[in-house]
Structure 1
Amino acid sequence: MSQQMQLEDLTTMLRECAGESENADLSTGADDVSFTDLGYDSLAILETTARIERDYGVVLDDEAVSEAETLGKYLALVNEALAAGTRAA
């Protein structure tokens, strides 16, 4: 059974973990905007990553997470892990 995270799921989780940034326009089309431009820092991404790993039972590669600089790239990384079944031990 393969599950997929949708952009709406990711933006909801990002808001829950890191709050609503003043610069954050997480509406449609935000998937190609960098986290920095949205007003989110590395701590916000780390908190979101920890929540995804816990809630979805996957392990995300730290280096790949740091290289995923946009919502779209990050979402693709999460969905690749879900599809591969990279489950937490």
Structure 2
Amino acid sequence: MTEQESPRPTPVAVSDVAALLGVSVHTVNQWRKRAAGAKQVEPFPPAVGKVAGADYWWADEILAWAERTGRRSGHSEGTPRRDQSGSDEI
């Protein structure tokens, strides 16, 4: 073996993003909608492609975005973050 291959990126759909970040699919869709008009916060990353008509992203890019925007740090995977009103954080 001459060169070590870098791992392949993992594609994720909306439901996968939700599970990865511990939020609902609705929350992910709200982040996506807000991305179009976002000026003061980093918008949700654009999809990198489509499979069978459904958008997908690279998992590592979503995780990096979540870290940069505070949507991942300080909570465990699979546990939705709650704002003070008790609803999913969006």
Q: Same fold (TM over 0.5)?
A: no
Structure showing greater Rg: 2
Please report the TM-score for the alignment, with normalisation by the length of structure 1: 0.30
Higher strand share: 2
Higher helix share: 1
Please report the TM-score for the alignment, with normalisation by the length of structure 2: 0.30
